[in-house]
Amino acid sequence: MDSGQLTVDSYLSLKLIGCDRPKLIGNFSKIVKLIICPGIHPPELTESFVAGLRLGEICQSEDILIVPGKDYPVYSGFHILQFVCDRTPICPPAHQPTCPLVFISFSAGVVGAIAAAKAWRRMGGTVKAFIALDGWGVPLFGDFPIYRVSHDEFTHWSSALMGSGEESFYADPGVEHLELWRSPQTVRGWWVNREGMCEPSSAAEFLILLLDRFEKG
């Protein structure tokens, strides 16, 4: 059974018995929320990632939701879905999500984030994009746009066997796994577009242009 289905069914069953019920509102916002799912590492690396992308200049602070690894297991789709539902509007009476989401996930966080994204869709919500940084070994398929970012060429082509996504980026020369998350603005490499053509870019430039596209689209 699909992991996203397990996640949403489990969460909805909890709602029925009154546990961790998400907030319900009548007048709701359609503003896109950016969900950042780190890996298993010190939180300072995620702070550096946010600063490196200058997300404060792209998004309102209240629209950036960072899953705290100390409170939620980042590899668990159930817990990430719970985190998201507790912080985004749900429209009564059908408990349908009303806020479009963009997921940015890293390493172990890719495992939980892709399950949560599929669950959000099963609940009737919109996922505008799913971006996986070094989600090596994680199958990435869904009815929403998916993008991969890899710390070296080997990770890039081997990950593509389990879903290459619409566009991707890989570092060249390769960098350390954690450096990709800590300093995306200094990681140089190749942006691979939908036609398979490559152009030089940094990881940060790739991500920022994608986010700008989602905001306008």
DSSP helix/strand/coil, 117: helix
SS3 labels along 10-51: HHHHHHHCCCCCCCECCCCCCCCEEEEECCCCCHHHHHHHHH
Spatial distance between the Cα atoms of 146 and 132, rounded to a whole number of angstroms? 8
Domain of 62, in residue numbers: 3-216
Task: Give the confidence band of 203 by pLDDT, cuts at 50, 70, 90.
Answer: very high
| Model pLDDT for residues 31-82, shown as the tens digit of each residue | 789 999 999 999 999 999 999 999 988 888 889 999 999 999 999 999 999 9
What is the count of structural domains for the chain? 1
Helix (H) or strand (E) holding 189: strand 188-192
Contact in structure between 27 and 160 (CB atoms under 8 Å): no
Task: Give the confidence band of 154 by pLDDT, cuts at 50, 70, 90.
Answer: very high
CATH number of the domain bearing residue 18: 3.40.50
Spatial distance between the Cα atoms of 213 and 21, rounded to a whole number of angstroms? 33
| Model pLDDT for residues 21-35, shown as the tens digit of each residue | 333 333 223 578 999
Contact in structure between 53 and 23 (CB atoms under 8 Å): no
